[in-house]
């Protein structure tokens, strides 16, 4: 199966360093990681953590609750509280898995204790939520891990509930995710950790920003990233809200300049990754000065988030669909100009070859390049063949690299842009 680097910013890590995560099937959002030894591994961006007993390979697929929650989840009084993953691993090889959730347990415990505890005592059993919270964990009866097998849901009680994770020990894997018991009287009192996502166009003379407010769920983030990428928008990285927010609450969007904002309110709600996500479109136009964006709680007016956008944050990137810049000599193609970096940094050559096979590579050339021992040797061999190609052939190589290694190509464009500005100065 073709492999390429995972495009979710970071790899799994353990005390000895990063562990490369690979894309097994991009359309299915299926990833594969090989843990080389027993130990603890975590992914800062996804939130998953594993404690493994020996070396093994794990497959992780990002999934959408929307196929299941209407029938099995909401009907039975549960609230989605974290991402849904389909995890496959050798039985007995994993000592513990830490599944991320986005419920703010500290806020849940200390600001809404009375409301929740009274309701829990009436609805379930009279257990002390207070004592379990102050001990660093919460009442496990509030959380369950849902397993979906043959479209039927089974619930499993976690071994522990921690501030950001639900812990299963010696787990069996399936399509699985975290649920929180939904108490009707406390529906509007469930604090969650949330995040804001900002996107700008790759290239545009006049700038329009897309602003999202979502639960801190990596599967939703990735679905939005993928959707925005289709329209040539790139994410602007800014800090998320510091404090917990509440599902169902509404927030007004405003800015320091006279901006056109549609709509001017955002509701914080959970929408499955397969659904359209709510966002505000903010038209800025020509960027001449710093812009401050804010979110304020609609009822109280209190500010919950702020971001400062500088002209550099909004500067148009070079067009990725135009391999040769206008002021670059006609004989110097992008792939030739960046030959050294591409040889060193392309981490998976076979998917590139698959896209070129039959177009600019013959069957013999395709097999010759694949026969090389390392990715660097494959790229060198590919470049030796590309000397005979015209601009159309090199454009096809560029497009293949852009599709399989988009972040690398963007990095090279940004380096070229910085170098061009420094030469001009």
Residue 313, token pair as written in the block: 């944050």
Phi-psi region of 358 (alpha: psi -120 to 50; beta: other; left: phi over 0): left
Q: What's the rounded Cα separation, in Å, for the pair 37 and 16?
A: 11
Q: How far is CA 69 from CA 59, 172, 252, 274, in A?
A: 23, 21, 29, 12
Q: What is the pLDDT of residue 417?
A: 55
Residue 260, token pair as written in the block: 């056109």
Confidence of residue 310 (pLDDT cuts 50, 70, 90): confident
Residues 189-208, mean pLDDT to the nearest whole number: 86
The domains of the chain, with CATH numbers, are 4-189 (2.60.220), 193-314 (2.60.40.2660), 334-424 (1.10.533.10)
Q: What's the rounded Cα separation, in Å, for the pair 282 and 263?
A: 9
Each residue of 131-140: pLDDT tens digit?
Answer: 333 344 456 6
Residues 184-202, mean pLDDT to the nearest whole number: 80
Q: What is the pLDDT of residue 28?
A: 84
Q: What's the rounded Cα separation, in Å, for the pair 144 and 264?
A: 36
| Mean pLDDT, the chain, integer | 80
Residue 206 DSSP class: S
Reported pTM: 0.68
The answer to whether 221 touches 47, Cβ cutoff 8 Å, is: no
């Amino acid at each position: 199966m073709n492999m390429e680097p995972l495009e979710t910013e970071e790899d799994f890590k353990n005390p000895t360093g990063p562990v490369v995560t690979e894309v097994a099937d991009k359309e299915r959002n299926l990833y594969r990681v090989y843990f080389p030894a027993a130990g603890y591994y975590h992914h800062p961006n996804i939130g998953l953590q594993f404690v493994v007993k020996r070396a093994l390979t794990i497959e992780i697929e990002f999934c959408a609750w929307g196929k299941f929650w209407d029938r099995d989840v909401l009907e039975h009084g549960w609230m989605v509280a974290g991402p849904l993953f389909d995890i496959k691993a050798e039985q007995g090889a994993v000592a513990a898995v830490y599944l991320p959730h986005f419920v703010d347990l500290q806020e849940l415990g200390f600001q809404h204790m009375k409301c929740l505890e009274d309701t829990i005592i009436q609805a379930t059993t009279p257990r002390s939520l207070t004592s379990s919270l102050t001990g660093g964990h919460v009442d496990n009866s509030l959380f369950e891990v849902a397993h979906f097998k043959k479209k039927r849901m089974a619930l499993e009680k976690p071994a522990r509930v921690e501030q950001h994770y639900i812990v299963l020990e010696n787990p069996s894997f399936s399509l699985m995710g975290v649920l929180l018991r939904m108490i009707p009287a406390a529906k509007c009192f469930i604090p969650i950790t949330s995040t804001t996502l900002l996107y700008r166009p790759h290239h545009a003379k006049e700038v329009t920003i897309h602003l999202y407010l979502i639960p801190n769920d990596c599967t939703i983030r990735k679905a939005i990233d993928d959707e925005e990428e289709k329209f040539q928008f790139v994410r602007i990285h800014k800090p998320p809200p510091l404090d917990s927010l509440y599902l169902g609450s509404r927030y007004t969007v405003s800015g320091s300049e006279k901006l056109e904002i549609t709509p001017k309110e955002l509701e914080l709600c959970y929408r499955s990754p397969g659904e359209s996500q709510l966002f505000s479109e903010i038209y800025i136009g020509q960027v001449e000065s710093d812009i401050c964006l804010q979110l304020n709680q609609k009822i109280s007016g209190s500010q919950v988030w702020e971001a400062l956008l500088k002209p550099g944050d909004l500067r148009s990137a070079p067009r990725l669909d135009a391999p040769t810049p206008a002021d670059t000599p006609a004989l110097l193609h992008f792939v030739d100009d960046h030959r050294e970096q591409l040889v060193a940094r392309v981490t998976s050559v076979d998917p590139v070859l698959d896209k070129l096979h039959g177009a600019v590579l013959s069957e013999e050339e395709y097999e010759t390049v694949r026969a090389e021992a390392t990715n660097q040797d494959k790229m060198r061999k590919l470049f030796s063949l590309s000397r005979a190609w015209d601009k159309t052939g090199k454009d096809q190589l560029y497009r293949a690299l852009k599709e399989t290694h988009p972040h690398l190509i963007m990095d090279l464009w940004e380096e070229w842009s910085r170098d061009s500005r420094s030469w001009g100065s």
